[in-house]
Amino acid sequence: MNRSWTPFNITSVVLGFAFLYIPIIILIIYSFNASKLVTVWAGFSTQWYAQAFQNAGLMSAAWVTIRVGLISATVATVLGTMAALALVRYNVFRGRFLFSGMIYAPLVMPEVITGLSLLLLFVSMGMDRGIVTVILAHITFSMCFVAVVVQSRLISFDRSLEEAALDLGATPARTFAQITLPIIAPSIFAGWMLAFTLSLDDLVIAQFNSGPGATTLPMKIFSQVRLGVTPEINAVCAILVAAVASGVIIASVLLKRQEVRRMRAEQLAAQA
């Protein structure tokens, strides 16, 4: 196999990345545009960032988004981790196969359907739509992502570690707190980051389930863009891109590092 950089390889990589990233790069570049006209470059400036931070509407939307993200990611992480533990550990309960299949379903479910079904649920329950319903909706769709991330770590977890702790006199609760939890902590944190990021950039589900006073940042941006793109929006979007990218990068670095460590441990075990 030819592994060197042939002209064909270079072209396909460049085209691929260009396709993915040129729109985002253009957005970031124009967020530093001094001109009020989005498509005309008039020199470098950070004025739109300053203005965005002074825009009360944008800022309150950002604040809603952060609150929704923090709360929903945290609750989703707890629930998702519990689901993952149940799926991996108690492999004899009735309906396990169905349950484990169902945890993956929301990953591929169209957001419109998730959003609409949750809306119908809240309406039939007589709940007023607002920040609480947005948080509940976000917990619902992000907990399965957490479950999947934590589950993949638990599958490769060496159960004899827990047996060793029990054998040395630790109760099951202490074993979980002192052995299981610290070892799977990186994947739980990665799951949290993923859930937070998903909540941060969700538009469709929030659109269905939010009410007055609970406008998230993506909703705000979307409604403003319909009146025309302003450099201010570009600046907010650039900040969002940075936030989401760093969240995803931190999560994947954590998972990668864990993977490398496990592979090294396995190699060591094989050598020994």
Report the interface residues with another protein, using CB under 8 A: 158, 160-161, 163-172, 174, 178-179, 182-183, 261, 264-265, 268-269, 271-272
Judged by CB, which is closer to another protein: 36, or 159?
159
Closest of 161, 172, 151 to residue 85, by C-alpha: 151
Which of 57, 172 has the CB closer to another protein? 172
Closest to another protein by CB, 2 or 160: 160
Distance CA 88, CA 142 (A): 19
CB of residue 267 vs another protein: minimum separation in angstroms?
10
Nearer to another protein, 46 or 158 (CB): 158
Could you give phi then psi for residue 33, rounded to 5 degrees?
Answer: -75, 135
From the CB of 175, what's the least distance to another protein, in Å? Answer: 8
In the complex, least distance from residue 259 CB atom to another protein, rounded to whole angstroms: 14
Residue 252: which residues within 8 A CB-CB, separation 6 or more? 190
CA atoms within 13 A on the CB side of 81: 18
- Closest Cα partner for 230 from 20, 44, 55? 55
Rounded least distance, CB 271 to another protein, Å: 7
Question: CB-wise, 29 or 163, nearer to another protein?
Answer: 163
Orientation of helix 181-200 relative to helix 131-155, angle to 10°: 140
Distance CA 272, CA 267 (A): 9
**Least distance from C-beta 182 to another protein, angstroms?**
5
